[in-house]
Amino acid sequence: MNIYKLLSPSAIVITSIFISSAFQSQLVNAEDSIEISMAPIPGKNYEMGKYDITQAEWIRVMGNNPSHFDSCGNTCPVESVSWNEVQEFIKALNTKTGKQYRLPTEIEWEYACYAGTKTEYCGGNDLNAVAWYKDNSNGSTHPVGQKQANGYGLFDMSGNVWQWTQDRYGDENSWHILRGGSWNSARNFLQISSRNGGPMERGYHMGFRLVRTLP
C-alpha cells in the first residue's frame, strides 16, 4: 500500500464550468428541508452520500461559502474546509435534520469505494471515465456526478476533491486521513491503494462526503 504526504497544489487555472445534468438534486430546494442523497452499502449497517457535499449544501447549512472555486457553482463540491470546520457543519446539519450524519472511517470509505470489486480506481480501471484529476480537470473542480459512478452508485469517489475521513493519520495528532485524490492529483494518488494524510487545515483540494449509520 502506497503512503504519501499531501502536497499543496502549485498552480491554479480557473475555467468555465457547466452544471451537470447527472447531478440529481442532492439539495432539496424547499425552504424548510435539507436532504442528502444517500446510497446503502450492501452488507453493511451504513449508507454513504452519493456525492461530495456541494457548495449549495454548505451554504444552506452554514450561511457562507469558503470554496476557492466558488465560481464553479452550487453543484460543485465545497472545498477549502478544514477537518474541524467539517465537524461544525455536521453538527449543524444533524441539528437541522434530526439525523446523525458523520464522516466515514477509512475502512468504511475504502469498502464503499471498491464496491465489491478489485479495480484500480473507484468505479473502474479507466481513470478518465470515473474521475477528475490533473490530466483532465483544467485546473479546477467540476460539478459532482458528471463521471461514472461505482457499483454502489457513488460518484467522484476518485478525484475532484480529497475526502476527509474520521481517522487520524498515524501518530500525527493534528492530521487526519484523506482518500480519493483531487482535481490536481497525479494518477498514482487516485489509486484505491493510495493513502494520504493532511493537517486539520483548509485546502482548495479538500472536501468531504458523509455517512450515516442505519438504525
SS3 (DSSP) at 102? strand
* Higher local confidence (pLDDT), 123 or 15: 123
Interatomic CA distance for residues 78 and 55, integer angstroms: 4
| Residue 203 neighbours by CB distance under 10 Å | 22
Buried b (16+ CB within 10 A) or exposed e, 86-114: beebbeebeeeeeeebbbbebebbbbbbb
* Higher local confidence (pLDDT), 192 or 173: 192
Interatomic CA distance for residues 78 and 72, integer angstroms: 10
Tens-place pLDDT, residues 110-124: 999 999 999 999 999
Classify the phi-psi angles of 161: left when phi > 0, otherwise alpha if psi is within -120 to 50, otherwise beta: beta
**Predicted pLDDT at 172:** 66
In the numeric block, the cell 435539507 is attached to: 34
Q: Residue 33 half-sphere exposure, CB side, CA atoms within 13 Å?
A: 9
Lowest mean pLDDT among 14-28, 71-85, 100-114: 14-28
Mean confidence (pLDDT) of the chain:
87
Interatomic CA distance for residues 154 and 174, integer angstroms: 29
Tens-place pLDDT, residues 18-60: 434 444 444 434 345 788 999 999 999 999 999 999 999 999 9
* Cell matching residue 2: 502506497
- Is residue 134 within 8 Å of 156, Cβ to Cβ? no
**Predicted pLDDT at 164:** 96
